[in-house]
């Protein structure tokens, strides 16, 4: 990582299979470049070589050239190699051989205009029943917590949290129209079709902490705090301030107005911060007027962070049940 969110004209790759997809994209683009330059040179050659001249008459018979035939056959062979030698094996490996249930983390992603919600099974490892008639502002997925005991401890979150270096199996659904579940950093994209459950899987290999370290930079606090809060919403501190003694702000604190005021009062005018969410789940299918806003933060946690997050979510559910 080089401190910018892109490399080789692509988002950073954070998945096990992403390197193979990037390599395939590279091969295709180099092939396209060679074709573009080659045919461009040939086109210019034809314009010059066969331009109109005094005394030259048009020939209406097709010329016989072995070189062009060999070039066309070579292009067709290479395109066949791209399809059957690279693309199909890659697709087959990552679309027809899901990780076994005992080695993966399961989650359901449910899209609607214009948001994603993520449904995790609770401590019992079982998904609770969903009933569309129970959907409300306080029960976004229609969990049947009264009629199905398995639903009582299920976690529903607007954020997708996944563990580092573990296979993640995502069941994709839609509540209304066709959406497209896409995570650019994971090289994952799959349509969400109403009435269907379509699975996709990936294995994260880079954590959100690693992304934050690469994206961290210095921010000046010496400006009006409302403007700062609007422009820098979603930032978190990457270290304690002050570094010695009792800090007034800690690593991981959100950089919002209240935090900024405490830092300025302590005489701190510059801080090192990074986005809290460095990756996103987006919709890659035009699904309505507010399609652009259909995104959700993705967090790749260490196993310890992931278990702590699940424990915190479960604790909130227990409080609600009481």
Q: Reply yes or no on whether the pLDDT at 285 is more than 60.
A: yes
Count the neighbouring beta carbons within 10 Å of the beta carbon of residue 283. 25
Structure tokens at 178: 């066709």
pLDDT higher than 80, residue 65: no
Query: What confidence tier does 1 reach under pLDDT thresholds 50, 70, 90?
Result: very low
CB 76 within 8 A of CB 138: no
Q: Average of pLDDT values for 279-291?
A: 93
Residues 32, 176: one domain?
no
117 and 186 both lie in a single domain: yes
Task: Look at residue 154 and tell me if it is in a domain.
Answer: yes
Mapped onto helix, strand or coil, the DSSP state of residue 221 is: coil
| Residue pLDDT, tens place only, 74-104 | 889 988 988 888 888 888 878 888 899 889 9
Under a CB-based contact definition with an 8 Å cutoff, are residues 119 and 311 in contact? Answer: no
- Average pLDDT for the chain: 87
Segments forming the whole domain that contains residue 90: 11-50+67-95
Highest-confidence segment of 69-83, 135-149, 167-181, 267-281: 167-181
Does 5 fall in a domain? no
Looking at the fold, whether 197 and 118 belong to one and the same domain comes out as yes
CATH of the domain at 107: 2.60.40.420
**Whether pLDDT at 225 is above 70:** no
- In the chain, the number of structural domains is 2
CA nearest neighbour of 182 among 165, 170, 166: 170
What is 102-142 written as a DSSP string?
Answer: GGEEEEEEEEETTEEEEEE--TTS-PPPB-GGG-BTTBTT-
User: Does residue 46 sit in the same domain as residue 177?
Assistant: no
In a domain, 231, yes or no: no
* 202 shares its domain with 172: yes
Q: Determine which helix (DSSP H) or strand (DSSP E) holds 235, and give its type and residue range.
A: strand 235-237
Structure confidence at residue 161 as a pLDDT band (50, 70, 90): very high
80 and 139 inside one domain: no
Task: Based on the fold, state whether residues 148 and 120 are members of the same structural domain.
Answer: yes
Same domain, 202 and 301: yes
* Residues 80 and 106 both lie in one domain: no
Q: Which of the residue ranges 22-26, 66-70, 188-192 would you say has the lowest mean pLDDT?
A: 66-70
Compute how many other C-beta atoms are within 10 angstroms of the C-beta atom of residue 202: 22
Tell me, what DSSP letter sits at residue 155?
E
Tell me: do 315 and 175 sit in the same domain. yes
Residue 106 lies in a domain: yes
Residues 136-155 have pLDDT tens digits of: 888 889 888 888 888 888 99
Q: What is the pLDDT of residue 44?
A: 94
Tell me, yes or no, whether 194 and 298 share the same domain. Answer: yes
Q: 254 lies in a domain?
A: no
Short-list 215, 114, 214, 208, CA closest to 161? 208
Residue-wise pLDDT tens digits, 38-58: 989 989 988 888 888 887 777
Average pLDDT of span 4-16: 77
- Domain assignment of residue 108, yes or no: yes
- pLDDT for 233 beyond 80: no
Question: Does the pLDDT of residue 220 top 60, yes or no?
Answer: yes
Residue 199 in tokens = 């699975």
The answer to whether residue 15 sits within a structural domain is yes
Both 290 and 196 in one domain: the answer is yes
Residue 4 in any domain: the answer is no
Instruction: Select the more confidently predicted residue: 100 or 7.
Output: 100
Q: Is-contact 193 178, C-beta < 8 A? A: yes
């Amino acid at each position: 990582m080089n401190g910018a969110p892109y490399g080789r004209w692509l988002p950073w790759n954070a998945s096990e299979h992403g390197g193979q997809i990037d390599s395939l994209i590279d091969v295709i683009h180099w092939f396209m470049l060679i074709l573009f330059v080659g045919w461009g040179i040939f086109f210019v050659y034809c314009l010059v070589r066969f331009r109109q001249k005094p005394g030259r008459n048009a020939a209406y018979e097709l010329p016989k050239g072995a070189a062009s035939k060999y070039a066309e056959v070579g292009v067709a062979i290479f395109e066949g190699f791209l399809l059957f030698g690279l693309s199909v094996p890659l697709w087959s490996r990552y679309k027809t051989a899901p990780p076994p249930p005992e080695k993966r983390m399961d989650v359901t992603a449910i899209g609607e205009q214009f948001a994603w919600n993520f449904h995790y099974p609770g401590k019992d490892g079982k998904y609770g029943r969903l009933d569309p008639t129970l959907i409300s502002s306080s029960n976004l997925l229609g969990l049947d917590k009264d009629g199905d005991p398995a639903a009582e401890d299920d976690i529903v979150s607007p954020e997708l949290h996944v563990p580092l270096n573990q296979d993640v199996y995502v069941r994709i659904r839609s509540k209304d129209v066709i959406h497209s579940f896409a995570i650019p950093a994971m090289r994952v994209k799959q349509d969400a079709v109403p009435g269907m459950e379509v699975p996709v899987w990936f294995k994260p290999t880079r954590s959100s902490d690693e992304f934050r370290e690469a994206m961290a930079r210095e921010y000046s606090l010496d400006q009006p705090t409302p403007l700062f809060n609007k422009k820098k919403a979603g930032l978190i501190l990457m270290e304690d301030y002050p570094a010695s003694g009792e800090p007034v702000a800690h690593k991981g604190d959100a950089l919002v107005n209240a935090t900024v005021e405490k830092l300025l009062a302590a005489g701190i005018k510059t801080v090192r911060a990074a986005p809290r969410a460095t990756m996103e789940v987006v919709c890659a299918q035009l699904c309505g007027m507010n399609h652009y806003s259909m995104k959700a933060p993705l967090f790749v946690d260490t196993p310890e962070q992931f278990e702590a997050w699940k424990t915190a979510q479960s604790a909130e559910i227990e409080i609600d049940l009481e």
